[in-house]
Chain A
Amino acid sequence: MSETKTHGEKAFVLNTGRSLMQGISMEAESKWSEKYFNAVAIAEMNPSDIAKLGITDRARIYNENGSVVLRIRPNSNVPAGEIYIPMGPWANMLTDPVTDGTGMPRLKGTKVFVEQTNEPLTSLIDILKELGAKNLEIHMEDAPVKTGERRTVENVVCPFCGDLCDHLIIEIDGNMIVKNTGGCAISSAKFLNYHKHRVLKPYLRHQGKLIEVSLDEALDKAAEILANSKYPLIFGLASTDIEANRYAVELAELTHGVVDNTSVFCHGPTALAVQEAGAVRYTFGVAIHLADLVIFWGCNPLEAHPNHVARIVLREGRFIKGRKSRKIIVIDTRRTPTANLADLFIQVEPGRDYELITALRMAIKDLDIEAPSVAGVPKEKVLELAEMMKTAKYGVIFFGLGLTMTGAKYKNIVAAIKLVQELNEWTKFGLLPMRGHYNVAGSNQVSLWATGYPYAVDYARGFPRMIIGVTSATDLLANGDVDAALIIASDPVAHLPRKAAEHLSRIPVIVIDAKWSLTTAFADVIIPGAYVGIECEGSAYRMDEVPIRLKKLVDPPPGILCDSEVLRRLVEKVKLKKGVVYE
């Protein structure tokens, strides 16, 4: 797997992913916290590699994109020759901004070098400085909460991941949330700490400092930036509601800019594949009642969507009697916690899923596979897998970023769709992307009905266009094409390769967020938003495209509006500034 550089260092394959602690720390504390640092500023390697390199507790990890010093934790589930870093600013210093025309940066599978070091660990501030952050001060505050009347609200919907669990029971004391029953650990962290580490005031950056201003002043400045921009990027939108997404599209249309959502670095390639091949989908309930074979491919729901397995795999369905009547297969590059649940774990070499899918397509058609192993999987296992798929009554595949981000990217998904379409000649089979942010699926839906395209939509010529690799956020930023940015409920600095993030230091940036994201360090205007699903009602789409209405449980902090209302006012102001009004 590894190769040797001329001067003797070993190259490793960088793998990134989400961990449970990452989600919890982000929601319970913030990305500026020690807890987040401990969860994300870390690398995992195979103990044999650690010994070989003589690493004590830390190492310098570097490549042509950048360099970081991180703590190293041994993990025998990480194959030798690979290194795993949770998604976040540290991993981003190393990931590759080149999207190969897919809009998707190479967040997995990048080559890095590793050496033992005694240098200090790279801090978050080190990284932000290196990216050219405009302000490193944050005004993190807790929203005022008071105990008082006690209430219990049932069937609350969780605004965190694409599972949109809607069976939560939330206990509220005054405006404090004191108990979350039914939600997973991340969900509890989110609800119980909703009031913490908030943006409570609008801010403008003035002479290098953030100053508190009125909402109207902040909106005016934001409108001025957008109205004067020749080509703004409006980005984020996966963690807010449908209504906010509608206004975001309208803003892009008004300003001849681009509206893009975070699917550009998660399941964007899945959408591209559907454009090419179609789709075979199912809702959760279909899997619950019928799936006797459940495959998790390149995803780790136990950590990223913690309730998912319990809701779908363990539940008893009409024609399936729960876990014992289902076979579970996990296909991944490393043995994840989800893999430990599986009846069969198939370890595929990083970036080579396409070969495995192709082999499966051949095997189900009884075509000969000549090679003794495919993508690191022995031929016998490929045949066994193909047989299990063909003979299932109703098979389902949930797939994640392991498939969209690596190797052939969207071609992986095209192949997977074709595999599933072909399997329908024998039996019933479906394929569903595990969507991350709770409304990223909804962002795609609004974008589709308003513009015809799922994301990365450009209005430069007054009508919608989607040119992936050009009008996608990663590319627009990495190439320095946009001259202003409006970031809504999202944190591109925590997700984008450094070259893309750096451009935010050079252009005016407006951030609308409930909490202090890393992107606020690049903001010229910061406008607080309230949380949909806690402080605002709004709708969102589950990963299987079932639309769900999120509830309002408590009032937003004083003076803070829902994202959709902030955007509605912004649209009005931009219209006035641009003279786009009826006479």
Chain B
Amino acid sequence: MNEILIKNGFVYDPINGINGEVLDIAVRDGRIVDPSRVDPSRALVIDAKGKVVMPGGIDIHSHIAGPKVNIGRLMRPEDHYLTNKPHKLPHRRAETGLTVPNVFRIGYEYARMGYTLVVEPATPPIKTRHTHEELDDIPIIDKAAFVLVDSNWLALDLITEGSREFLAAYFAWLLSVTKTYSLKLVDPGSDVAWILTGRGIDIDDQIPSYNITPRDVVREMGNAAQLLNLPHKLHIHCNRLGYPGNYLTTLKTMDIAKDISRLSEAPALHITHVQFTGYKGDSWSTLESGGEDIAKALKINKYVTLDLGQVILGRSATTMTADAPFEYVLYHLTRWKWANADTEVESAAGIVPYSYKKRSYVNTIQWVIGLEIALLTRDPWRVVPTTDHPNAGLFKDYPILLSWLISRKAREELMKDVNQRALRKAILPSLDTEFSLYEIAIMTRAAPAKLLGLDKFKGHLGVGADADIAIYDIDPKELDLSRNYEKFVKAFKKAWLVIKNGEIVVRNGEIVKTIYGKTYYAEPSIPEELRKELDVFLRKKFKEYYSVSLDSFYIRDHELRNPVKIPIETKIKG
């Protein structure tokens, strides 16, 4: 059975401008085809009358695999005790874990919500083989990973020497051998500072042992990303994350987009989990939302995109980030468990369990910031919802997050229980913006596909797209979602039917088949003339810096379950 015909559904496909029209969607051999190309007598016909049909959801930033996720699992056994779901073989493997679920639950939980592509946003190069081995074991969804570069000694050496083209060539090599998709900056330069001094730094501080600042790093790496012509340029977690007053650092970082020698009109910087760096005020007790300032800055700066890092109140979290100095500070606030991993030449990571409380002043402000930014900008093509899973919230709570965007009533219900002092300082209670289902489809499908540059075959339902489809049992013509947001949450938590790569994987919110998706990676071209020089450089630096051989660093295609190379024509000159 490789032909499916989905009939009569309300289709939401923003990339093709389809807004809730009743249409038939046909699938053949894992792709969307014109309905005339399937034979209704042979095809599996699905009656989606009165239901919502969307492309599979895409999560651009969720920590689902790699060394820090596994340390999270190790140090949080209590996370698994009460969350078990026995297997149902051969359809579904056993599931466990809440904030740091096992690989099976990660894939299944996303699939149950109708998500089919997820990006792991931070992998240290030297441990990226681990990240891939975990990604490979996550069922159903497609994946990609961003590689950490901001504190990379090789890159910083090159920036110091001012070799712009060469830096780009090095990144091209790095992406290709680590099989990753884009460049990630986490608290730029701070892991150098952390490893040498045990502290983080701000955007205009000097990076210890280097004569440059994080601002230089963002700009130069931004320039390299332009030369590389990456579909998703720089993915940035700003400096001073988690400190009151850090919204100023975020504004400064957004501003760097203007200093980058842009070679296209595409966004130059993506600021991730902006909530965590949207703090106004000079202490925790005077903390306020910087959401309005960030929203304003975004409006006048078309080269920046954002994701929210929305806090989910009333949930526990396991914070994990390459922002090791921040985790060290958080550990002093929580005083429970702390894990740190200093990783040679490249980065570090910290992990600290945390819990977001409705009554907490600080946590309420955090919750407000994400929503204010989303509602004030109302720019679903440029501002996408994430929880920075499992940092600000869990990906499994996306339907709840989305309900706060489509329904003022949903927000008001929760506002009754949150810290009122914090609310009084916020403009959120006065906002009456409510997103449409179409806008939700943009934010969770079309926009992330475009931001990743995968919109040719992901994030839409046009002919030729991958047959990743989610059907939700909700009738938008009958139901006022704003009033009935609980029904929306229920429908989006457990999709009625999910098709991945042309196969039915979810029915009535339950997994019916375990399959494995692809891993996308970028392969930017490197001019021949630079290759030799690059090789000499790499040999020298590996001898000097690394405890592994250069050879060990290469991750080959056959090591991955299902790698898909995205070749990129770069603008690097020889």
By a beta-carbon cutoff of 8 Å, the part of chain A in contact with chain B is 154-155, 157, 166-167, 242, 246, 250, 253-254, 271, 274-286, 288-290, 311-312, 318-319, 421, 424, 427-428, 430, 444-446, 448-454, 459, 461-466, 539, 541, 545-549, 575, 580-582
B341 at the interface (CB under 8 A from A): yes
- Interface presence of B453 (CB below 8 A): no
B86:A167 contact, CB within 8 angstroms: no
List of A residues within 8 angstroms of B134 by Cβ: 449
The answer on a CB contact under 8 Å between B103 and A463 is: no
**Is the Cβ of B86 less than 8 Å from the Cβ of A463?**
yes
Distance from B344 Cβ to chain A, minimum over Cβ atoms (Å): 3
> CB distance A464 to B84 under 8 Å?
yes
A170–B67 Cα gap in the complex (Å)? 31
- Any A CB within 8 A of the CB of B263: no
B window 335-349: CB within 8 A of A: 337-345
Closest to B544 in A: A318
- Return the chain B residue nearest A254 by Cβ: B89
* Between-chain CB contacts (< 8 Å), 27 pairs: A166-B549, A253-B93, A275-B75, A275-B76, A278-B337, A279-B340, A282-B342, A283-B341, A283-B343, A283-B344, A285-B547, A286-B342, A289-B344, A318-B153, A430-B340, A450-B104, A451-B94, A451-B96, A452-B79, A453-B77, A459-B94, A464-B94, A464-B102, A545-B127, A546-B126, A549-B552, A549-B555
A275 & B77 in contact (Cβ 8 Å cutoff):
yes
Chain B contacts with A in 13-28, Cβ cutoff 8 A: none
Whether A450 touches B344, Cβ cut-off 8 Å, given contacts A253-B93, A541-B130, A549-B129, is: no
Cβ proximity bits B335-374 to A, threshold 8 Å, 1 near / 0 not:
0011111111100000110000000000000000000000
Q: Assess whether B548 is in contact with A548, with CB atoms less than 8 Å apart.
A: yes
Given known pairs A166-B552, A246-B137, the reply for A580 and B340 (CB within 8 Å) is no
B496 to chain A, nearest CB (A): 22
Within the complex, the shortest CB–CB distance from A572 to chain B, in Å, comes to 11
Fill in one digit per residue for B221-262: 1 if any A CB lies within 8 Å of its CB, else 0: 000000000000000000000000000000000000000000
**Which residues of the other chain, A, contact B436 by a CB distance below 8 angstroms?**
none
Q: A274-B339, A548-B548, A582-B513 are in contact. Are A452 and B127 (CB under 8 A)?
A: no
Q: Is the CB of B342 within 8 A of A539?
A: no
Q: Return the chain B residue nearest A280 by Cβ.
A: B340
Chain B residues, CB < 8 A from A541: 130
A290 to B76, CA, bound (A): 30
Identify the closest chain A residue to B96 (Cβ).
A452
The interface residues of chain B lying within 8 Å CB-to-CB of A277 are: 75, 337
Chain A nearest CB: distance from B92 CB in Å? 11
In the complex, the answer to whether A461 meets B102 with C-beta atoms within 8 Å is no
Nearest-neighbour CB distance to chain A for B5, whole angstroms, equals 23
B70 / chain A contacts, CB cutoff of 8 Å: 445, 448-449
A463 touches B87 (CB 8 A): yes
Minimal beta-carbon separation of B208 from chain A (angstroms)? 10
Max chain A CB contacts within 10 Å: which of B133, B338, B544, B559? B133
Question: A residues within 8 A CB of B544?
Answer: 318
B73 at interface (Cβ–Cβ under 8 A)? yes
Contacts of A280 in B (CB 8 A): 338-340
What's the Cα separation between A276 and B74 when bound, in Å?
9
**Least CB separation from A279: chain B residue:** B339
Q: Are B89 and A274 in contact (CB under 8 A)?
A: no
Residues of A near B527 (CB, < 8 A) are none
Residues B198 and A424 in contact, CB atoms below 8 Å apart: yes
B546 within 8 A of A: yes
* A575 partner, pick from B90, B153, B328, B345, beta carbons under 8 A: B90
A408 CB, min distance to chain B CBs, angstroms: 19
Chain B residues in 8 Å Cβ range of A453:
73, 77, 80
Top 3 closest pairs, chain A to chain B, by CB: A285-B344, A462-B86, A284-B547
> A311-B547, A463-B86 known; A275 and B74 CB under 8 Å?
yes
Known: A155-B551, A157-B552, A286-B195. 15 other contacts (CB 8 A): A253-B87, A274-B339, A275-B77, A278-B75, A280-B338, A285-B345, A430-B342, A445-B133, A448-B74, A464-B94, A464-B96, A545-B127, A548-B548, A549-B555, A582-B513
Minimum Cβ distance to chain A for residue B191 (Å): 11
Q: A275-B75, A428-B198 are in contact. Are A452 and B102 (CB under 8 A)?
A: yes
- What residue of chain B has the Cβ atom nearest to residue A464's Cβ? B96
Residues from chain B with a CB closer than 8 A to the CB of A274 are 71, 74-75, 339
Count CB-based A-B contacts (< 8 Å): 185
User: Which residue among B94, B209, B352 has the maximum number of chain A CB atoms within 10 Å of its CB?
Assistant: B94
Residues of A within 8 A of B546 (CB): 285
B2–chain A nearest beta-carbon distance, Å:
15
- Nearest chain B residue, comparing its CB with the CB of A581: B90
**A451 to B, closest residue via Cβ:** B102
A450 and B552 contacting across the interface, CB-CB below 8 Å: no
Measured between beta carbons, the chain B residues less than 8 angstroms from A242 are: 133
Choose from A283, A312, A459, A466 the contact partner of B77 (Cβ within 8 Å): A466
Residues of B within 8 A of A157 (CB): 552
B537 lies within 8 A of chain A by Cβ? no
Contact among B65, B77, B559 with A452 in the assembled complex (CB-CB below 8 Å): B77
Q: Is the Cβ of B74 less than 8 Å from the Cβ of A271?
A: yes
Q: How far is the CA of A417 from the CA of B563 in the complex (A)?
A: 39
A261 to B130 Cα, complex, angstroms: 19
Chain A residue contacts of B96, Cβ below 8 A: 451-452, 463-464
Q: Which residues of A contact B513 (CB under 8 A)?
A: 582
Q: Let me know if B328 and A424 touch, CB within 8 A.
A: yes
**Are A283 and B126 in contact (CB-based, < 8 A)?**
yes
In the assembled complex, how far is the CB of residue B85 from the closest CB belonging to chain A, in whole angstroms? Answer: 6
Q: Are A290 and B195 in contact (CB under 8 A)?
A: yes
Are B198 and A427 in contact (CB-based, < 8 A)? yes
A463 in contact with B95 given A246-B137, A254-B89 (CB within 8 Å): yes
**B461 CB, min distance to chain A CBs, angstroms:** 27
A582 near B133 with CB under 8 A, answer no
Q: Could you say which residues of chain B place their CB within 8 Å of the CB of A446? A: 133
> Could you tell me the distance in whole angstroms from the C-beta of A141 to the nearest C-beta in chain B?
32
| Complex-state Cα separation, A428 to B85, whole angstroms | 41
B103 near A450 (CB under 8 angstroms)? Answer: yes
Option from B79, B90, B153, B341 in Cβ contact (under 8 Å) with A279: B341
Q: Are B94 and A462 in contact (CB under 8 A)?
A: yes
Q: Is B196 an interface residue (CB 8 A)?
A: yes
Contacts of B550 in A (CB 8 A): 155
Within 8 A of A (CB), among B108-130: 126-127, 129-130
Q: Which residues of B contact A465 (CB under 8 A)?
A: 84
Cβ-based interface call for B545 (8 A)? yes
Contacts of A319 in B (CB 8 A): 196, 209
- Give the residues in chain A near B351, CB-CB below 8 Å: 278
> Is there an interface contact between A288 and B552, defined as CB atoms closer than 8 Å?
no
B97 within 8 A of A: yes
B559–A539 CB distance below 8 A: yes
Q: How far is the CA of A461 from the CA of B337 in the complex (A)?
A: 30
* Complex: A31 Cα to B545 Cα, angstroms: 40
In whole angstroms, how far apart are the Cα atoms of A151 and B160 in the complex?
42
Among B67, B352, B550, which residue has the most Cβ atoms of chain A within 10 A? B67
B90→A580 contact, CB < 8 A: yes
A-facing residues in B132-188 (Cβ within 8 Å): 133-134, 137, 153
Q: Which residues of chain A come closer than 8 Å to B77, judged between CB atoms?
A: 275, 452-453, 466
| Residues of A contacting B65 in the complex (Cβ-Cβ under 8 angstroms) | 449
Do A279 and B75 touch across chains, with their CB atoms under 8 A apart?
yes
Closest chain A residue to B78, Cβ basis: A275
Q: List the A residue with the shortest CB-CB distance to B351.
A: A278
